Each structure stands twice: as C-alpha cells, then as structure tokens.
C-alpha cells in the first residue's frame, strides 16, 4: 500500500495501541502542514460541554465543543463550511475552513445564516514542530488518509476511528476489531 504524506486537509488516524492517552484511537484533521509546523484537531473526542456553556454572550446554538488536542486546552478554535461569509477564514480543503472573525460568526448565528451542521468547535489543538509528525508517521504511529468537509463537520464521530480502519487495506483492517486493551483479550 502506498503511504500518503501529510498535508493540509488530510486526516491522521492513530494506531490502535498508541501510548499517549490524548490520541487513543484518534482521527485528526490537519488544518495546517508546512515545513515548520503541523496543526490539527481531533474529530472524535466530543465533550458534554456546549459552546453556550463556555461563552455567556454566545447566541443560543446547539453545538458541542470537542477536545481538539492537548495543546493550549484553554483556547477555542472552530472549523466550518462558511468561508465565504466569515472574514479571515483559512481554507483547509474545498468547502472547509478554519477560524475567522469570531464576532462575525456570532452575528451570522444570531441571524440564522449558519447552522450547527456547518461548524465544529474545539478546545485546544494538536501540534507538531518541524519533522516531528513525519517521524511519528515513519514510526507508524499514524496513518494518513484523505479528508473532506463532510467527515470533518459530522457531529457524531464516536465510531469514526473504527469506520476508517475497517475500510483500509487488509494490513490495517485487523486493527478495527482489536480490543482497546489487548491484555484483556
């Protein structure tokens, strides 16, 4: 199987027994990847916290906050499909954007021009310095796969890791049914 190289808009899928609990069976969307750094957000670690729980002045909006990663957990980030409406948005992939003017976002939500199916909020992010992600991929900690806005913005991603692994080559398909703790097998 030809291994893909990481790039903006692609996904990182963790190997099943990754030791770092932050990335246990994680699927990460890379929102930036260049020669100096890589940045992404974990797509399958929801919380029970809503955006309204975090920001009092946020307009009423039915959207959970996901754990984006272990870096700067006190920061709030968002990905969305409304790049043409939110100034300062950074295009990640076709129909998928990262960040933008937060006041504009709140105004568009108030005006009901943006819906929860178009946006995902994250507390914290994942980050790698120059060469670090490539080393981890070489060590087979991550599988790189193409991403898209539908996957990134899907609100129920609890089984995302297993679904991706199940669809991959036979080399990886066996991972899909591995217990989370092989010692209990």
- Classify residue 147: in a domain, yes or no: yes
- Classify residue 183: in a domain, yes or no: no
Q: Which of 63-72, 141-150, 158-167, 172-181 has the lowest mean pLDDT?
A: 172-181
Which of 37-41, 144-148, 158-162 tops mean pLDDT? 37-41
- Classify residue 164: in a domain, yes or no: no
- Burial (0-12, 13-18, 19+ Cβ within 10 Å), 38: buried
Query: What pLDDT is stored for residue 180 in this prediction?
Result: 66
- Classify residue 174: in a domain, yes or no: no
What is the reported pTM? 0.91
pLDDT-based confidence at 13, cuts 50/70/90?
very high
Give pLDDT tens digits for 84-104. Answer: 999 999 999 999 999 999 999
- Classify residue 168: in a domain, yes or no: no
Residue 85 dihedral angles phi and psi, to the nearest 5°: -105, -25
Into how many domains does the chain fold? 1
Share of the chain above pLDDT 90, in %: 74
Q: Identify the residue whose tokens are 């591995």.
A: 178
Q: Classify 38 as helix, strand or coil.
A: strand
- Classify residue 68: in a domain, yes or no: yes
* Range(s) of the domain holding residue 100: 11-157
- Classify residue 107: in a domain, yes or no: yes
pLDDT-based confidence at 111, cuts 50/70/90?
very high
pLDDT-based confidence at 166, cuts 50/70/90?
confident
- Classify residue 65: in a domain, yes or no: yes
Q: Cα separations (Å) of 117 from 21, 66, 97, 153?
A: 28, 14, 14, 7
* CATH (domain of 24): 3.40.1740.10
């Amino acid at each position: 199987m030809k291994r893909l190289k990481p790039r903006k808009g692609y996904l990182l899928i963790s190997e099943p027994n990754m030791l770092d609990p932050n990335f246990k069976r994680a699927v990460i969307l890379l929102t930036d990847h260049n020669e100096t750094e890589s940045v992404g957000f974990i797509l399958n670690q929801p919380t029970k916290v809503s955006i309204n729980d975090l920001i009092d002045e946020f307009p009423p909006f039915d959207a959970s906050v996901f754990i984006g990663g272990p870096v700067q957990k006190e920061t709030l980030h968002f990905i969305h499909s409304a790049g043409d409406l939110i100034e300062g948005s950074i295009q990640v992939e076709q129909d998928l954007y990262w960040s933008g003017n937060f006041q504009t976002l709140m105004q568009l939500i108030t005006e009901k021009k943006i819906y929860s199916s178009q946006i995902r909020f994250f507390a914290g992010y994942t980050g790698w310095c120059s060469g670090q992600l490539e080393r981890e991929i070489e060590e087979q900690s991550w599988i790189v796969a193409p991403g898209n806005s539908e996957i990134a913005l899907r609100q129920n991603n609890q089984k995302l890791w297993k679904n991706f692994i199940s669809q991959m080559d036979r080399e990886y398909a066996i991972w899909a049914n591995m217990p989370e703790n092989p010692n209990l097998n």
